Amino acid sequence: MRHLRWAVGLAAAAVVATVLPASAHPAQDRRPAPPDRIELPAGWLPEGITTDGKNLYSGSRADGAILKIGIASGRTTRFAGATGRVAVGIDYDRRRDVLWVAGGAGKEVRAQDADTGKVLATYAFPSVSARFVNDLTVTRSGVYATDSLSKELLVVPFTRGRSAKLPAAGRAKIVPLTGDLQLAAGNNLNGIVSYGKALVAVQSNTGLLLRIDPRSGRTRQIDTGGTTFVNGDGLERGRGVLYVVQNRLNKIAVVDLDRRQRTGELVDMIERADFADEIDVPSTVALVKDSLFVVNARFGTPSPETAAYWITRADARR
């Protein structure tokens, strides 16, 4: 096992050079091995992670700051946060070169420039009761976010056609969720991904996978043969499979969904021994080629304001 690590500080850029062992295939050596572990700043309080294919982006629950990390180079750029701001789920929008960020209890979704971190637009989702905007996914038609405390889908619809402009703030809307989703104590809908015209989300407290019609809001439980994914957090689509991070269980379930997202089968499980380095309550995952980069949220760790945080890698299955 390699022990290649990148240390990430608060400086604007940091590069770590690594000498790889000699190989009998020098042509293959020109492609750098992916890092097994990437250190995040102390007290970072990460939750979400996403990628544009070349960089990883990790958001902070402490102040909404975002760290951009070059996967091959190790160069980092820190996008400053602000007092009271939170970054939970995060997803990269290639068409607009924008990061969409879930704002947690702040009841908002932000669009931020992927090169500078500048907040380009803020979309508010006011409610009488508490709300926790937990995770989101970008599709051709818009951005869809989960609220872990309600039966509502939070939507930022895009303008139809070729326009890549950001929607006006007033276009944000709420779609009530009906059907199989039933609220329970604790965190409900969490991770969410797009499957064509449908969405798939995980309900953390019950461990159920749900198919969501983004237009009507109708939810349908995916039949997984009795298998549940309690503590389900971030979701990521792979090559024909869905990765379900189960945070406090320190593992990632690999699920094969049928074409219509009606049934699913657990086909593999990535556990502690399969990660290249230590994991501690992983929250979300980003797939880059054959590697899964998992951010360790370390929920419940003592003194989180000064604790160590990191990203660790596992080989993708299927």
Residues 267-292 pLDDT 10s: 999 999 999 999 999 999 999 999 99
Q: Which residue range forms the structural domain that includes residue 292?
A: 1-16+31-79+277-318
Task: Indicate the number of domains in the chain.
Answer: 1
* Res 65 pLDDT > 60: yes
Where does the pLDDT of residue 7 fall: very low under 50, low under 70, confident under 90, or very high at 90 and above? Answer: low
* Res 20 pLDDT > 90: no
Structure confidence by residue, pLDDT tens digits, 186-229: 999 999 999 999 999 999 999 999 999 999 999 999 999 999 99
Where does the pLDDT of residue 5 fall: very low under 50, low under 70, confident under 90, or very high at 90 and above? Answer: low
In a domain, 310, yes or no: yes
In a domain, 281, yes or no: yes
Indicate the SS3 state at residue 247: helix
In a domain, 295, yes or no: yes
pLDDT at res. 11 = 42
Task: Determine the average pLDDT of the residues in 16-43.
Answer: 67
Q: Which residues contact 226 (CB under 8 A, 6 or more apart)?
A: none
Tokens of 54: 């070349």
In a domain, 1, yes or no: yes
In a domain, 69, yes or no: yes
Q: Which residues contact 46 (CB under 8 A, 6 or more apart)?
A: 40, 58, 59, 60, 61, 283, 295, 296, 297, 309, 311
In a domain, 289, yes or no: yes
Q: How many CB atoms lie within 10 A of CB 313?
A: 23
Spatial separation of the C-alpha atoms in residues 253 and 271, rounded to whole Å: 9
Q: Name the residue among 152, 151, 156, 150 with its Cα closest to residue 168.
A: 156
In a domain, 296, yes or no: yes
In a domain, 148, yes or no: no
